[in-house]
Structure 1
Amino acid sequence: MLPRALTLSALLALLLAIYLALAPARLSCRCRSWEQCWPSLEAWSHLNASLNSHLVDLRPIASVCHEPILDQPACDIVRRMSNSGRWRTGQPGALINSFWESGFGSNETCSLSSGQENLCHQGRIPLYAAVVESTQEVQTAVKFAREHNLRLVIRNTGHDGAGSSSGPDSFQIFTHRLSDILYHENFRITGSNTSVGPAVSIGAGVLFGDLYVHGGQKGFIVTGGDSATVGAAGGFTQGGGVPGFLGHTWGLAADNVLEFEIVTATGNLVIANAGQHPDLFWALRGGGGGTFGVAVRVTMRTYPDHPAVKSTISITGDGQSPSFWSEGIAGLLTVLQSLNRQGTAGVFRLWQTPAGLLGASTEVYFLNQTEVKDASSVIKSTLGNASDIYIISSNALDTLSSDVEADAPTINELFGSTLVSNGLFQSESGPKLIAERMSQIGLNDGEWILTSNLGGQVNDNKRANTPLHPAWQSSAQLVSLVVNVDTAPGARDRAMRRLTNELMPRLYALDPSQRVSYRNMGDPNEPHFKEVYWGATNYDRLVQIKRDWDPKDLFISRVGIGSERWDFEGFCKV
């Protein structure tokens, strides 16, 4: 038997060895709620006081419909409002893409459809949210997350298709209430004497729907999203910002940003523009939201809010019929091709109907026109003898800003996307080749394909001014795929596997020369995200900029810059 002193010495040495072995691993992970490093209630209380009582102990929105905190009047409100996208954007415990509220375990959810006696689980909803109302409160929240090694998520509207607006055991900064809008007749870039003409400065929480209403009253519009509930200053713009058709005329949203005000990982407020911190400015114009800091204000160019005539050419048919593709779909794409050459932009859509048929349409916008008959004449002339197989309608818009619905429903959708080059789309055989390849994708009920019109000003702008893949310089269309996710257990995982393994290879096959995608409408499990979103050279530069501004990866976003160093939820380095 060993002497007692020797036994204790050996035991202490063993414990020290174990501690030293585990310490690096512990330091490479974020703090979880069950660990001793998690902030005490006293620390959270102190933070709440520093945030002017704007800290929320967060629960999923459906928790009021379940024991033990069942609140029937509150539950009735949630049930009535839960399908409203605008309502959801104002709830820190909800997302527009609602399936990202659930965790990956079999019971990690809190559903409105389950009985009130069923337990409500937190899922991927953060445990606390700083519902900030000022830049100073953002700075306080960022410093707290850094000091306590917390998993930090940035939540504006919850539109993020990769689930980056939520995360289990995380701390959320909810920017929705930063909603100021300031129009400038002749904006002067901060730190310079350069004036650049009309612009608008917007807080992080401004929705495009509200910005369009405000702009419509003052006679301006911005290059923004089609959905009223998308945040104008958040991940949409920081991810590149592809508008439906306005990109062809005025470029991407990121092209039109003049400067960012951003709270960095140190908690400092930085103004980034072409003259101040140009590397950070470059990275923010397409490097992805929630990656380099918290953008609290963005200033972007504005344009006159033109009248327009919107014309729609549509067709419904049997997807098993070769002529539906070679004539019907190819014809719709040919119309878009022809009108693009004349400077008129639009969008193409293809969808699976509940009746098992396929519907398709091309919508084009004739800017600065007011006569419906003139637009219809152009459409019929472009279609020629083929016009008989389509339904054609046109309507006059007083302004472009009036063509956006005030609300949008919640969605349960995954996305994928690919670029189509000018070389293919503008070729004589391009529309037929694209139509033939689209026929191989295979849409399920309720799924659809849509295009965003590139070319034009997207090609003319210097792509070197943004970190997006160089292929955007010569691309005609962004083709996006929208995949439904039902509410059955495991449905999200099955849909994600189908998207990655089956649908994305078919989508990329639309233009094999490209294999380039758009992160905001990208596969959340894209295995080659560095190459398809940014390209190797741009990605390496983005990584270096992130190291300069966020060396400890406080801001990590799924399939974002530096995310390859972290696990799926951004908790531990891999």
Structure 2
Amino acid sequence: MTLDSLHRRHLLQIAGSALIAPLRVWGASGVSSRVRPGEPGWPSDASWQQLGQQVGGALSKVESPLADCLDAPTGASCLQLLKSVKNPYFIGDNVALTQHLGWVDAWTSRPSVYAVAARNTSDVVAAVNFARQNNLRLVVKGGGHSYHGTSNAADSLLVWTRRMNAIQLHDNFVAAGCAGQASPQRAVTVEAGAVWAHVYDAVTTQAGGYVQGGGCTTVGVAGLVQSGGFGSFSKAYGTASGSLLEAEVVTADGVVRIANACTHPDLFWGLKGGGGGSLGVVTRLTLRVHELPEDFGAVNMSIKATSPQAFRRLIGLVVDFYGRRLMNPHWGEQIRMRPDNILRIMMVFQGLNRGQAQMAWQPFLEAVAAAAGDFAFESAPVIVSTSAREFWAATTFKKVLGFIKTDDRPGAPGNNVFWPGDQAQAGEFVHGFDSAWLPAALLRDDRREELCDALFSASRHWGISLHVNKGLAGAPAQAVGRARDTAMNPSALDAFALAILGAEQQPAYPGVAGHEPDLARGRQRAQAIARSVAELRKVAPDGGAYVSESNYFEPDWQSAYWGTNYPRLQAVKAKYDPEGLFYVHNGVGSEGWSADGFTRRA
């Protein structure tokens, strides 16, 4: 059944559910707090049963598999679970789990009381109406990758979109209401619960196109787009939110709205980078499909400096090389600087063949070789390329060499793939995390030494990863222009990189003997990260941070995540969710609620 036919059928179901919904107006309730289980006003068993019937049995009471570990941490069930949580698809397919199990002194993954495993838009409408009418804490989860724990909350009702994962390609898409105002273009419509591995399989491997999504293949499509959305090749194609053409969203009043440049353009703008879970429940998105280049490739190497002074010179060498040779649409991913004086290059390229990539890196390799007394390769340079169409394909060659991993559960779909480097996130307990945009102006001749000094000083406290694909300086004007028309912090447009710093323990969970989070060590590492970021802030004081990869404790999050765009986002929030049904930590409008999202602040 196609997406279009599904939607026609669901419109009839939505209309029916609206007729039987209780006539209570959220805005008229004047509530100051949300209700918890056992409190007056918590829905009766009969009410929950009625919701279950309304969603065709998609409602369930949620039990966490981690309960087995709390009761028997050395038992076979717990040991198997701790092994399974290193498979991101196992986590993503479990309604009670999140990809990260918590953050020291911030949050711990706790399941909702009930969950609607939505199969269609009408299920989402029913859940939203039920939460509004009964004054419940509502949570939305797709891929469950939120570092800030926004896809879980105890004592809540969860809207889980994982089962809404249909994908449909279009050769000539025109957004609703835009006929005569926009040219037909190649696009893909994706339901909210899909993950990027499956979208890349459909668009790239099967159809030979490219859609700008996330680098981590198990991240949910809807959450990434709403947060801005950077992938390995964003320097060429921009952000995922910049490629959004249309979205279907259920707003707080239970109304299904189509948002695009011609219909509800204010909501459309807010969904493009305003943060997931704050403005409504996105149920499907249509994204631009770009032309696919012939080749994708990667460059990997590790260089050890013989002393801190030599490492400072190595930082200067690589920063100068990047600024002069690599800050262009061909290059993306990471340059890492570690406290042990090791520089790691883990970059990707597009639109070049292997020979061209080798030529591009030759000056840097020669400079390193010429300073043998200062530098030595810990791992020799490796430059590889492949057909872009096969980049996300789980070929035997890539699996044998460890370039890609697959879901190891019996009967798992063959396109359940993930990069080995992303497996570390599965089941981890975060110790500390932060990010900072680094403006391209720091690469100028008169400021480069200042930048390199800051990077070196920062690396004395903690390792830094410069994600050069997560800053749009050097990207094509069209890509930058599309990103400019989104809600994310404009600092990203002029940044050459996003500096990311993080520490974690894995797998870990409070109360599981032998796998307890090390709180003391976590706090020490968080302090080291803070000292490192402080060095970067000296040269980029107004750089802000990326909402999806940032500090849970960010004090000035409104400005850091959205800069001058925040007042406009507040206006969108006030229009479509005036009573604050949708709450996420450090999300638009969250300053009006307590940290757990249950009590309205005066």
Q: Provide TM-score, normalisation by structure 1.
A: 0.83
Equivalent position to 2:342, from 350, 358, 381: 358
Post-superposition Cα deviations, 1:177-201, rounded to whole Å, max 9, x if no partner, equal 1100001111111112133411100
Q: How far apart are 1:173 and its partner, in Å? A: 0.6
CA-to-aligned-CA distance 1:288-323 (integer Å, 9 cap, x gap):
000000000000111133232534253332596121
Counterpart-to-counterpart distance in 2, 1:476 and 1:382: 19
- In structure 1, the residue matched to 2:213 is 224
The answer to whether the 8 Å contact 1:336/1:346 transfers is no
* One-letter amino acid of the counterpart of residue 275, structure 1: C
How far the C-alpha of 1:222 sits from its partner, in A, is 1.1
The correspondence for 1:237, drawn from 217, 225, 232, is: 225
Match of 2:145 among 159, 163, 173: 159
Counterpart CA distance in 1 for 2:134 and 2:306 is 56
Alpha-carbon contact 2:104-2:429 (below 8 Å) kept = no
**Alpha-carbon distance in 2 for matches of 1:71, 1:53:** 35
1:457 positional shift: 3.2
Q: 1:313–1:332: 8 Å Cα contact kept in structure 2?
A: no
- Match of residue 294 from structure 1: 281
Q: 2:440 maps to what in 1?
A: 422
For the residues of structure 1 that align with 2:86 and 2:265, how far apart are their CA atoms?
41
Corresponding position: 1:550 with 2:577: yes
Change (3 A) 1:517 1:79: closer
Q: Does 1:253 align with 2:236?
A: no
Identical-residue share of aligned pairs (%) = 26
Once residues 493 and 26 of structure 1 are traced to their aligned partners in structure 2, the CA distance between those partners, rounded to angstroms, is: 41
- In the TM superposition, 1:521-540 aligns within 5 A as 521-535=549-563, 537-540=564-567
Structure 2 match to 1:45: 49
2:311 aligns to what SS in structure 1? helix
Residue number among 462, 469, 476 corresponding to 1:457 in the alignment: 476
Question: Alpha carbons of 1:154 and 1:341: their partners in 2 closer, same or farther (altered >3 Å)?
Answer: closer
Q: 1:564 to 1:143 in 2, by over 3 A?
A: same
In 1: Cα distance, 2:346 partner to 2:449 partner: 15
Would the alpha carbon gap of residues 499 and 149 (structure 1) be closer, same or farther in structure 2, given more than 3 Å must change?
farther
CA deviation after TM superposition for structure 1 residue 475, in Å: 2.1
Which residue does 1:284 correspond to in 2? 271
The verdict on how the C-alpha distance between 1:573 and 1:498 changes in structure 2, with shifts beyond 3 A counting, is farther
Report how far residue 27 of structure 1 moved.
Answer: 2.6
CA distance in 1 between counterparts of 2:86 and 2:359 reads 40
- How many angstroms apart in 1 are the aligned matches of 2:525 and 2:159? 27
The Cα offsets for residues 61-90 of structure 1, whole Å up to 9 and x where unpaired, read as: 22244559x997865653441111111111
Q: Residues of 2 paired with 1:148 and 1:25: CA distance?
A: 10
1:84 pairs, out of 84, 87, 107, with 87
- Residues 421-459 of structure 1: per-residue CA shift (max 9 Å, x gap): 12113x1355543332122225778x6523132221377
Q: 1:431 to 1:227 in 2, by over 3 A?
A: farther
Could you tell me how far apart the structure 2 residues matched to 1:412 and 1:65 are? 16
Contact map agreement 1:101 1:166 (CA 8 A) in 2: no
Does the CA-based 8 Å contact 1:286-1:466 persist in structure 2?
Answer: yes
Determine the structure 2 residue equivalent to 1:433: 450
Note the alpha carbon deviations across 1:155-178, whole angstroms, 9 max, x for none: 111111111111121111111111
Alignment of 1:143-182 (within 5 A): 143-182=129-168
339-348 vs 163-172, which moves further:
339-348
Change (3 A) 1:255 1:401: farther
Structure 1, gaps ≥5 residues long: 1-23, 110-122
Q: Aligned in 2, Cα 1:490/1:59: closer, same or farther, shift over 3 Å?
A: farther
Question: What is the letter of the counterpart of residue 546 of structure 1?
Answer: K
User: 1:18-97 counterparts in 2 under 5 A?
Assistant: 27-65=31-69, 67=71, 75=78, 77-97=80-100
Give the direction of change, closer, same or farther, for the CA distance of 1:323–1:136 in structure 2 (3 Å limit). same
Moved more, 43-52 or 263-272: 43-52
Question: For the residues of structure 2 that align with 1:195 and 1:139, how far apart are their CA atoms?
Answer: 32
Q: What are the superposed Cα offsets for residues 114-161 of structure 1, whole Å, 9 maximum, x if unpaired?
A: xxxxxxxxx632111111111100000000110111111111111111
Kindly tell me: are residues 470 and 511 of structure 1, through their superposed partners in 2, closer, same or farther at Cα, counting changes over 3 Å? same
- Judged with a 3 Å threshold, the aligned counterparts in structure 2 of structure 1 residues 207 and 351 are, in CA distance, closer, same or farther, namely farther
- Give the drift of 1:496: 8.9
Structure 2 residue matching 1:461: 3-state secondary structure: helix
Q: 1:562 aligns with which of 566, 589, 597?
A: 589
* SS class of match (1:498): helix
Residue among 464, 483, 488 paired with 2:503: 483
Unaligned runs of 5+ in 2: 1-27, 393-403, 406-416, 507-515
Selected match of 2:523 from 469, 486, 494: 494
Question: Equivalent of 2:355, from 373, 380, 395?
Answer: 373
Contact 1:247–1:457 (8 Å) recurs in 2: no
Q: Is the 8 A contact 1:345 1:364 kept in 2?
A: yes
With over 3 angstroms needed to count, the CA separation of the structure-2 counterparts of 1:195 and 1:542, relative to structure 1, is: same
Identify if the C-alpha distance between structure 1 residues 565 and 82 changes in structure 2 by more than 3 Å, giving closer, same or farther. Answer: same
Per-residue deviation at 1:463? 5.1
Q: How many residues align?
A: 522
1:314 is paired with a residue whose SS is strand
Q: Does 1:511 align with 2:540?
A: yes
TM-score by length of 2: 0.80
Alignment-derived partner of residue 190 in structure 1: 176
Indicate how the Cα distance of structure 1 residues 147 and 25 shifts in structure 2: closer, same or farther if over 3 A, else same.
closer
Does the Cα contact within 8 Å between 1:212 and 1:401 map onto a contact in 2? Answer: no
Aligned to 1:212: 200
Decide whether the 8 Å contact of 2:296 with 2:388 is kept in 1.
no
Q: Is the 8 A contact 1:415 1:483 kept in 2?
A: yes
Q: Quick one: structure 1 residues 510 and 521, their matched pair in 2 at CA, closer, same or farther if it must change by over 3 Å? A: farther
Instruction: After TM superposition, give the deviation of residue 97 of structure 1 in Å.
Output: 1.0
| Residue matched to 2:512 | none
Residue in 2 that maps onto 1:393: 382
Residue type of the partner of 2:126?
Answer: T
Per-residue CA deviations over 1:229-278 (Å, capped at 9, x if unaligned) read: 111122x110111223x222111111110011001101111000000000
Q: What is the identity, as a one-letter code, of the residue corresponding to 1:229?
A: T
